[in-house]
């Protein structure tokens, strides 16, 4: 592998690292409201994912900052990148500059490496010496040092090409997840009022969704309890947690009939309305 090829690979690895870390921050370390929603929906599941994502970030940092050889095999690491230049013989001054910079990187990643060596890749039997606390600062210090090294190296190798590690839309999938989970039910509040407004004898009615606030024309058939448009609305409703029972009040606009309360079981693919 050439120096340019390995540089590209490491740059891609840093982008992937940002994908996991920025998603982790959005879900678990940016807004208490997000954490409250995740705890309300599935506290155990999301707590497990919080741990897995954090540990995955630590492992990614360690892979990038590994020795040039591990167990006799070449690694895709910063040290390997420096070795591929041949600067040790051809350009001792540059070799010293980047060797010193690499030592700075490894020092910044020391606490992340302690977790990899003693807890993640291996389980240390002797726990007498406590591990460094798992903090946001520990990770961000390591990432900043890695990025600084890669930027400096890239400028030396390709002075006309600037690398940016600011990735746009990296948290898009997590944001979409939160939009689906963030509703009144997940915030432990009563479910919002959702209504069907109709006129007696007319099968065209208006669904007013309390979850997303949208209004939509639907079919209303109270006798045979079938209204597929209602089910279709909730299948794409951004304000609703999937697979739950929604309560709907059917109100005759002119007061010709008393209100009825229906349930829509979203697990029932027929989308039928069941009168309560």
Q: What is the arithmetic mean of pLDDT over 106-135?
A: 90
Q: What is the pLDDT of residue 14?
A: 96
**pLDDT tens digits for 151-184?**
999 999 999 988 888 878 889 889 888 877 776 5
Q: What is the arithmetic mean of pLDDT over 28-32?
A: 91
Q: In whole angstroms, what is the distance from residue 253 CA to residue 268 CA? A: 28
Q: What is the pLDDT of residue 138?
A: 97
**Is the confidence at residue 185, as pLDDT, over 60?**
no
SS3 label, residue 273: strand
Label residue 201 by pLDDT band (50, 70, 90): confident
Q: What is the pLDDT of residue 101?
A: 97
Q: What is the pLDDT of residue 244?
A: 63
- Residue spans of the domains in the chain: they are 3-181, 195-275
Residue with structure tokens 């707590």? 47
Q: What is the arithmetic mean of pLDDT over 38-52?
A: 92
Q: What is the pLDDT of residue 181?
A: 79
pTM of the predicted protein model: 0.71
The pLDDT > 90 percentage for the chain reads 58
Lowest mean pLDDT among 83-92, 164-173, 221-230: 221-230
**Is the confidence at residue 241, as pLDDT, over 90?**
no
Label residue 187 by pLDDT band (50, 70, 90): low
**Is the confidence at residue 99, as pLDDT, over 70?**
yes
Task: Let me know: does 102 contact 78? Beta carbons within 8 Å.
Answer: yes
Q: What is the arithmetic mean of pLDDT over 135-145?
A: 97
Taking residue 161's Cβ as centre, other Cβ atoms within 10 Å add up to 8
Lowest mean pLDDT among 115-119, 172-176, 262-266: 262-266
Sign of CA dihedral 127, 128, 129, 131: positive
Task: Let me know: does 249 contact 255? Beta carbons within 8 Å.
Answer: no
**pLDDT tens digits for 266-276?**
766 555 566 66
Q: What is the pLDDT of residue 17?
A: 96
**DSSP class per residue in 2-57:** -HHHHHHHHHHHHHHHHHHHHHHHHHHTS-HHHHHHHHHHHHHHHHHHHHHHHHHH
Task: Let me know: does 10 contact 78? Beta carbons within 8 Å.
Answer: yes
**Is the confidence at residue 25, as pLDDT, over 80?**
yes
**pLDDT tens digits for 69-83?**
999 999 999 999 999
């Amino acid at each position: 592998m050439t120096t340019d090829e390995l540089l590209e690979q490491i740059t891609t690895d840093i982008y992937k690292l940002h994908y996991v870390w920025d998603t982790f921050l959005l879900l678990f370390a940016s807004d208490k409201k997000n954490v409250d929603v995740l705890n309300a929906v599935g506290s155990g599941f999301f707590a497990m994912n919080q741990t897995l994502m954090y540990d995955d970030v630590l492992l990614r940092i360690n892979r990038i900052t590994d020795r040039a050889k591990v167990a006799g095999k070449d690694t895709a690491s910063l040290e390997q990148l420096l070795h591929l230049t041949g600067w040790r013989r051809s350009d001792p001054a540059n070799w010293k500059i980047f060797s010193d910079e690499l030592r700075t990187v490894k020092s910044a990643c020391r606490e992340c490496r302690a977790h990899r060596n003693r807890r993640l890749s291996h389980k240390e039997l002797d726990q007498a010496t406590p591990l460094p606390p798992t903090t946001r600062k520990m990770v961000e210090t390591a990432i900043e040092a890695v990025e600084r090294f890669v930027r400096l190296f890239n400028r030396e190798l390709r002075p006309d090409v600037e690398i940016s590690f600011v990735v746009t839309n990296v948290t898009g999938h997590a944001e979409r997840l939160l939009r689906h989970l963030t509703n009144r039910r997940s915030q432990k509040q009563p479910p919002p009022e959702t209504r069907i407004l109709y006129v007696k004898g007319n099968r065209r009615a208006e669904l007013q969704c309390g979850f997303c606030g949208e209004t939509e024309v639907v079919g209303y058939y109270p006798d045979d309890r079938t209204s597929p448009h209602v089910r279709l609305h909730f299948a794409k409703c951004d304000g609703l947690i999937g697979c739950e029972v929604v309560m709907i009040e059917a109100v005759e606009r002119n007061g010709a009939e008393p209100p009825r309360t229906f349930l829509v079981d979203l697990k029932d693919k027929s989308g039928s309305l069941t009168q309560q």
